[in-house]
Amino acid sequence: MMRARRGGVVRMAATTAVVAGTAGAVHHHQEQKYANQAAQQQAQIDAQVQQQMAEQQYAQQQYAQPQYAPPPQQYAPPPAAPAGPDVSAQLAQLGQLYSQGILSADEFAAAKAKLLGV
C-alpha cells in the first residue's frame, strides 16, 4: 500500500512541477509583452517630444530673424516733355484766331487735331 501512495505522491509532485513551470513561462511571457508595450509607448512619447521641440525651434528661428520687406522697385523717370512750345498756349492762340475769324471752323478743327496728335 505504501507503494501506491508513493506513486501518487511522485505523480502529484511531477504535476505540480509542470504546472509551476508552465505558470513561470506564462508569467515570463507576460512580463516581456508588457515590457515591449511600455517600450513602444515610450518611443511614441519620445517621438512626440522631439517633434514638438523641432516645431518650437523652427518657430523661434522664424521670430528671431527679422523679416524685411523687399526694397521698393526703382522706376524710370517719366520721359521729358518735348522742348516745343506749350500746347495749351498754342490752343489758346488757335482759339483767338478762330474767334477773330481768321480761321474757319474746318481749319480750326484740322489745326487742333494736328496739334493734339489725333
Q: What is the mean pLDDT of residues 81-95?
A: 77
Is the pLDDT score of 80 beyond 70?
no
Is the pLDDT score of 101 beyond 80?
yes
pTM of the model: 0.35
**In angstroms, rounded to a whole number, what is the distance separating the alpha carbons of residues 95 and 97?**
5
In contact, 112 and 91? CB cutoff 8 Å: yes
Q: Give the pLDDT score at 1.
A: 44
Q: Give the pLDDT score at 106.
A: 92
Q: What is the DSSP letter of 100?
A: T
Q: Give the pLDDT score at 30.
A: 86
